[in-house]
Chains A and B, each alone.
Chain A
Amino acid sequence: MDFSLPTEPMNHKRKNPDPSPDSDESTTQLSSPFPDEVLERVLSLLNSRKDRNSVSLVCKDWYDAERWSRTHVFIGNCYSVSPEILTRRFPNIRSVTLKGKPRFSDFDLVPPKWGAYVHSWLLVFATKYHFLEELRLKRMTVSDENLKLLALSFPNFKALSLLSCDGFSTDGLASITTHCKNLTELDIQENDIDDKSGKWLSCFPENFMSLEVLNFANLNSDVNFEALERLVSRCKSLKVLKVNENMTLEQLHRLLVLAPHLRELGTGSLLQELTPRQHSELKSAFNNCKNLNMLSGFYEVTSIFLPVLYPACTSLTFLNLSYAALRSDELSNLLVHCPLLQRLWVLDSVEDEGLEAVGSNCPLLEELRVFPASDPFEDEILHGVTEAGFLAVSYGCKKLHYVLYFCRQMTNAAVATIVQNCPDFTHFRLCIMNPRQPDYQTNEPMDEAFGAVVKTCTKLRRLAVSGLLTDLTFEYIGKYANNLETLSVAFAGSSDRGMECVLKGCPKLRKLEIRDCPFGNAALLSSFRKYESMRSLWMSGCKVTMDGCRLLAQEMPRLNVEVIRECGNDGFQADKLYVYRSVAGPRKDAPSFVLTL
């Protein structure tokens, strides 16, 4: 065991000045027999959040040792704790993950300027976490000033990941690329960003070479290709490169030649015509990428291009085709070359036939996501998948445990068979796109389908339900889903009883998000203590009233009970309710349309 002190700067550790019963000699047998340094050293090997939380509850010594040795912290709801409380407890944090807005903000259900500002966090981090290296933000509001502060405050800063955030522009990115000399990761995904120009890429200094991850797939402005080329050739450790759709095949080829060691590649748009020479050059470049295990991008791909990828597909474990409207035959031909595939994201343009090919060719598949290719509310060509496709996958892919499936029809019988084939589901997210649609063969509600899921899949942690559902579905969920942590419900249920059943059961429930269901105050208040054991509750378009919410707030002072009021609201109904536990008290930055009760 290595007893040497860590070489990187660390806050000087002091013994707890307050004598406490635990450190008294008479109770030695209860407290740790090891010196603090040893305990900390051991605990620093623990990475799991759950383990660390358990450790911190053993005794005061362990609590202290854990808090000094923790370097990464995950905050699932930025309003559940304050930066002051965080930095007081954990002095040596190097990596922070922060999540902000409720998930339904992804679907435009949360008005802009709702909150989740990273600003107050950064201000505190700038003084308390001088050695911060990583910041990962999801659904937070970030400004260009924030990014500049970030770039200038942390000399060791290495990794920035922004997912589903808003409030910044490419100017903010330029601050990062200009000033962060030790940057290894820049991951900008699906943000509501003011995309002014691609100049940020040219701001990397000419001697900068530490980049390992670069993802700008969702940015639309052109970057200077020569600057990108030079960057890629300098950064020998580059593992992940995801370019935007403006990259041509020629440019892609040049990048591949420079970086054959890539593990993850995101292509640009693949529509250009290729001469035979270009075709074979590109194919050979892909052939040289022996470490490639993830491919994504594929904006507007043509059939002619796909065979170029075949040599690279043999080692693929993750294929993200969710921006490419492939046909079933195109997918089928591609999958023949991907025997090791574990994760596959596709559009429903591949139809059931395409999914049959998945079942036939990908025995190691663990995760499948099928997104809708067209907006079903527009009168467009609707390709689609049905229960047949899902069934076919379940017969061929016995290791399947994560599914997100947008479909146009489903039956109870099919779902029952699917979970019999694949009982190890941990994430079952089924979206029958027509709200309240019954089993199309029997015209019955889809209760038995989800009943089968929760009864059979004992490891289930995440569930999203859809179709015509009565309270029976929720009785099943409450009774059987003992490991369920996240439940998403829309246009379902018959009465308060449904929600009551879920709240009375589901002992591990952490996140409950509900929209457009007939659940009212009785349901909301039926098990109000439960909300303290959960991260959050979202209810919109339901039947709760302001009075009901006020009652909840009264009963549970340690919960933040927030109602989003929108214009036209009569002041009686609580349109959008967001309830979450917090040790930081009510929000200080709530906008006028958010009422904290």
Chain B
Amino acid sequence: MEVGSKKEKKMGFEETELRLGLPGNTGGSEGEVARKRGFSQTDTTTTVDLKLNLSSKEATAAGMNLNEKANTLQKEKNLLATDPAKPPAKAQVVGWPPVRSFRKNILAVQKGSSEESEKASGNAAFVKVSVDGAPYLRKVDLKMYQSYQELSDALGKMFSSFTIGTCGSQGMKDFMNESKLMDLLHSSDYVPTYEDKDGDWMLVGDVPWEMFVDSCKRVRIMKGTEAIGLAPRAMEKCKNRS
């Protein structure tokens, strides 16, 4: 296992590169849909500039104080520019959505306590599943499934209004076939990826099912065109294994 290569900065950079110049928001949800459809950038680019935390110097004066708060917020939430599933821009808009901070705090506490109780249950392996373009996430217990096929069927049902593409029919192991993988990645179909314990983003189907269940922290079903950066490493790992 090439542990070293997992930590390559290159991947992180590619991830941010995919997001440069995208107005409004993030890779996570309906914002992306908006982006692709000719959504135009406005002049008040406070959200754009703040998003990457790379162009903080270019932020307009109007956005400066937001930027400072944004930096603090970002540190607090431990957001990484290299983490593709977290929407960095959204976290940085102060006071939005306009919900009284009092109300926000109460719910955060409640959620915290309910999540803790779930983790304590031990026999479940809950992971969050997000689909690019879907307005919601789901939480699934991986231990309820015995194979990638079962998981992809279940996910297909949960996100049925979105095209999941071929990962539903042929199972995710097809991704090991390089030409198929390349086809898929260059199409606009969806590709399931996951974050493993080391914080790296991998293609689903890479490892045996049980190993996947143990190491998977969250799942993100991305658009094929966005998963390109992941493919070479997944291929490399497979080649090395066989």
Given contacts A408-B135, A438-B34, A541-B66, contact A107 B101 (CB under 8 A): yes
Contact call A377/B91, Cβ cutoff below 8 A: yes
Q: Which residue of B39, B43, B96, B218 contacts A438 across the interface (Cβ within 8 Å)?
A: B39
Q: Does B103 contact A440, Cβ atoms closer than 8 Å?
A: no
Question: Is the pair A436, B96 in contact by a Cβ cutoff of 8 Å?
Answer: no
Would you call A51 an interface residue if the criterion is a C-beta within 8 Å of the partner chain's C-beta atoms? no
The segment from B7-15, B105-113, B162-170, B204-212 that touches chain A is B105-113
A495 closest partner in B (C-beta):
B43
A371 with B77: CB separation less than 8 A: no
CA distance A376 to B60 in the complex (A): 25
* Across-interface contacts of B43 in A (CB, < 8 A): 518, 543
B31 adjacent to A434 (CB under 8 Å): yes
CB B109 to nearest CB in A, in angstroms, measures 9
| Chain B hits for A517, CB < 8 A | 44
Interface string of A283-323 (1 = CB under 8 A from B): 00000000000000001100000000000000000000011
Query: Scoring B residues 73 to 108 as 1 if CB is less than 8 Å from chain A, else 0, what string do you get?
Result: 000010000000111001101111111111110111
Interface pair A443/B38, CB less than 8 Å apart: yes
In the complex, how many angstroms separate the beta carbon of A378 from the nearest chain B beta carbon?
A: 7
The distance in angstroms between the C-alpha atoms of A464 and B97, with both chains bound, is 12
Interchain nearest-CB distance for A383 vs B (Å): 7
Stretch at the interface among B136-144, B152-160, B173-181, B186-194: B136-144
Is A543's CB under 8 angstroms from B62's CB?
A: yes
Contact A325 B90 (CB under 8 A): no
Q: Which residue of A lies closest to B110 (CB)?
A: A300
Q: Are B30 and A437 in contact (CB under 8 A)?
A: yes
Asked if A473 is at the interface (CB within 8 A of a chain B CB), the reply is: no
Of all chain B residues, which has the CB nearest A164? Answer: B100
Residues in B with CB closer than 8 Å to A573 are: 60-62
Q: Is A24 an interface residue (CB 8 A)?
A: no
Size bin of chain B's contact surface? 35 or more
Q: Which residue of B lies closest to A519 (CB)?
A: B44
A490 within 8 A of partner (CB): yes
How far does the alpha carbon of A516 sit from the alpha carbon of B96 in the complex, in Å?
Answer: 11
Chain B residue contacts of A45, Cβ below 8 A: none
Of B24, B31, B95, B106, which one neighbours A104 at CB under 8 angstroms?
B95
| Residue pair A372, B77 in contact (C-beta under 8 Å) | no
Please report the C-alpha to C-alpha distance between residue A433 and residue B66 in the assembled complex, in whole angstroms: 18
Q: Contact at A379–B62, with CB atoms within 8 Å?
A: no
Closest to A386 in B: B135
- Hey, which chain A residues are within 8 Å of B113, CB to CB? 300
From the candidates A109, A300, A386, name the one contacting B94 in the complex (CB within 8 A): A109
Q: How far is the CA of A347 from the CA of B111 in the complex (A)?
A: 13
Q: Specify which of A373, A443, A569 is in contact with B34 (CB 8 Å cutoff).
A: A443
Residue among B43, B62, B91 with max Cβ neighbours from chain A (10 Å): B62
Q: Which residues of A sit under 8 angstroms from B111, Cβ to Cβ?
A: 374, 380
* Among B30, B42, B77, contact of A518 (Cβ-Cβ < 8 Å): B42
B29 contacts across to A, CB distance below 8 A: 382, 408, 434
Q: Does B150 contact A (CB under 8 A)?
A: no
Complex contact A108–B94 (CB within 8 A): yes
Known: A379-B86, A380-B137, A494-B42. A190 touches B61 (CB 8 A): no
By a CB distance below 8 angstroms, the chain B residues around A322 are 103
Question: Roughly how many angstroms separate A266 CA and B140 CA in the complex, as a whole number?
Answer: 34
Contacting pair A569 B64 (CB below 8 A) = yes
Q: B79: shortest Cβ distance to chain A, in Å?
A: 9
Q: B210 to chain A: closest CB distance in Å? A: 26
In the complex, what's the smallest C-beta–C-beta distance from A447 to chain B, in angstroms?
A: 14
| Inter-subunit contact B46/A438 (CB<8 Å) | no
Q: How far is the CB of B213 from chain A (nearest CB, A)?
A: 20
Let me know if B95 and A107 touch, CB within 8 A.
Answer: yes
Least distance between B142 CB and chain A CB atoms (Å) = 16
A492 to B64, CA, bound (A): 20
**What separation, in Å, do the CA atoms of A434 and B33 have in the docked complex?**
12
Q: How far is the CA of A190 from the CA of B46 in the complex (A)?
A: 30
A-B contact pairs, 29 of them (CB 8 A): A104-B98, A107-B95, A107-B99, A108-B94, A109-B94, A109-B95, A322-B103, A347-B107, A371-B99, A372-B99, A374-B107, A379-B86, A379-B137, A381-B138, A384-B136, A408-B29, A408-B30, A434-B24, A434-B90, A435-B96, A437-B34, A438-B37, A468-B34, A543-B43, A543-B62, A566-B65, A567-B65, A568-B65, A569-B61
Known interface pairs A440-B33, A443-B38; 4 further A-B residue pairs with C-beta atoms within 8 A, sorted by A's residue number: A382-B137, A435-B24, A464-B98, A543-B44
The 3 closest A-B pairs by CB, nearest first: A107-B95, A377-B90, A568-B64
